[in-house]
């Protein structure tokens, strides 16, 4: 990618929003020095699938693009929720993409070496349930051969798969990168270890950030599966016992930990599905702070931040981000938002 479209991580900025409301503009390279001994940082280690597939709608012969957007069933790993576009590519703004040809249950799609079938069209012409022919291994081989990372018009040059893998990427289950983890590097992890700050991972199938349609976007995020290892649960419990903070690297981690939380704040290990939205008024039982990108009001990621702070406070943070020239896309700058105690919350 060209330098203007992908921020050099060494020059990235970090707005730190403290629990008492103070804000600091720092180099993101300072991330390794911000937390206290005993704090626990939890990150999403999901690797990103090449989830954009161009092909042909066989019944009418028209060009389409499929963007895989969700796993339908852990027991049937070739079935997906998908967003369908007509001809075009990522250089056209998602909001301006052509609609797909009229789709019906049973329609077959040729996607490079893969053949897929529309199981059913849901309550929007772009939203379908899709299944691939053949085995899981054949599907992954076809994705590797023909698929490309989902991307948007702010990055005109095609992304390679390694552009959307974080340094801790492991199991390939995400449809878009868990982009908050782009802030992590080995120097930061080493600094945390040296300062006795804990680090743990979970795997959350991060979904898409935009469908190009306001009605569909209002439903984001879709249901997303996650896996939380026993060792991560044990680290969370130890941090809670000593009164230390739990810091989530990204909204997907917040979603997984809070979905797995018991009423007493303990966390269940194993597999689960994160459903519904975290938003204003959602009680946070586990997470004390979140490292995230720069998001705009109305976006599902921004809605989640409303569980951490009131609207007036978030407006002040947005003003600070704008004043400092922070960049807002997935390769942009970051904000560390500590949960604001009720004392600091103001009426909207």
Q: In whole angstroms, give the CA distance from residue 144 to residue 177.
A: 16
Q: 219 or 230: which carries more pLDDT confidence?
A: 230
Residue at which a domain ends, from 124, 146, 168 = 146
Q: How far is CA 95 from the centre of its chain?
A: 20
Q: What is the pLDDT of residues 49-68, one digit of tens each?
A: 999 999 999 999 999 999 99
Domain that residue 233 falls in: 2-48+159-338
Q: What is the pLDDT of residues 107-162, one digit of tens each?
A: 999 999 999 999 999 999 999 999 999 999 999 999 999 999 999 998 888 999 99
Q: How confident is the model at residue 7 (pLDDT cuts 50, 70, 90)?
A: very low
Amino acid 325: pLDDT: 92
Residue at which a domain ends, from 96, 112, 146 = 146
Residue at which a domain ends, from 101, 117, 146 = 146
Alpha helices in the chain (DSSP H): 136-146, 186-194, 214-217, 230-241, 251-259, 300-305, 311-323
Say yes or no to pLDDT of 328 above 90.
no
* 98 and 241 share one domain: no
The answer to whether residue 199 sits within a structural domain is: yes
Q: 270 or 77: which carries more pLDDT confidence?
A: 270
Q: Indicate whether this model's pTM tops 0.85.
A: yes
Amino acid 2: pLDDT: 31
* 283 and 164 share one domain: yes
Q: What is the pLDDT of residues 263-274, one digit of tens each?
A: 999 999 999 999
For the chain, how many structural domains are there in total?
2
* 192 and 321 share one domain: yes
* 141 and 263 share one domain: no
Q: In whole angstroms, give the CA distance from residue 299 to residue 322.
A: 17
* 229 and 292 share one domain: yes
């Amino acid at each position: 990618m060209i330098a203007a479209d992908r921020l050099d991580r060494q020059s990235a900025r970090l707005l730190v929003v403290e629990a008492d409301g103070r804000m600091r503009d720092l180099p993101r390279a300072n991330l390794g020095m911000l937390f206290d001994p005993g704090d626990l940082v939890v990150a999403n280690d999901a690797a990103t699938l090449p989830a954009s597939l161009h092909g042909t709608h066989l019944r009418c012969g028209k060009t389409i693009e499929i963007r895989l957007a969700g796993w339908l069933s852990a027991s049937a790993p070739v079935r997906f929720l998908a967003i369908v576009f007509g001809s075009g590519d990522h250089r056209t703004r998602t909001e301006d993409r052509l609609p797909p040809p009229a789709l019906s249950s049973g329609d077959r799609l040729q996607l490079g070496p893969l053949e897929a079938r529309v199981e059913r069209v849901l309550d929007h012409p772009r939203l379908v349930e899709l299944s691939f022919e053949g085995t899981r291994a054949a599907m992954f081989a076809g994705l590797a051969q023909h698929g490309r990372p989902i991307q948007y018009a702010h990055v005109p040059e095609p992304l390679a798969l390694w552009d959307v893998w974080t340094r801790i990427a492991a199991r390939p289950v995400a449809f878009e990168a868990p982009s908050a983890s782009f802030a992590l590097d080995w120097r930061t992890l080493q600094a945390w270890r040296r300062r006795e700050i804990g680090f743990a991972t979970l795997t959350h199938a991060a979904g898409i950030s935009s469908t190009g349609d306001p009605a569909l976007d209002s439903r984001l995020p879709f249901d997303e599966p996650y896996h939380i290892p026993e060792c991560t649960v044990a680290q969370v419990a130890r941090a809670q016992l000593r009164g230390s903070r739990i810091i989530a690297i990204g909204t997907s981690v917040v979603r997984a930990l809070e979905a797995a939380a018991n009423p007493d704040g303990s966390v269940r290990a194993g597999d689960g599905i994160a459903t519904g939205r975290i938003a204003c008024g959602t009680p946070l039982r586990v997470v004390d702070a979140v490292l995230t990108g720069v998001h705009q009001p109305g976006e599902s990621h921004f809605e989640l931040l409303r569980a951490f702070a009131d609207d007036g406070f978030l407006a002040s943070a947005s003003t600070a981000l704008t004043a400092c020239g922070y960049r807002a896309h997935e390769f942009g700058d970051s904000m560390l938002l500590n949960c604001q105690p009720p004392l600091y919350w103001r009426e909207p």
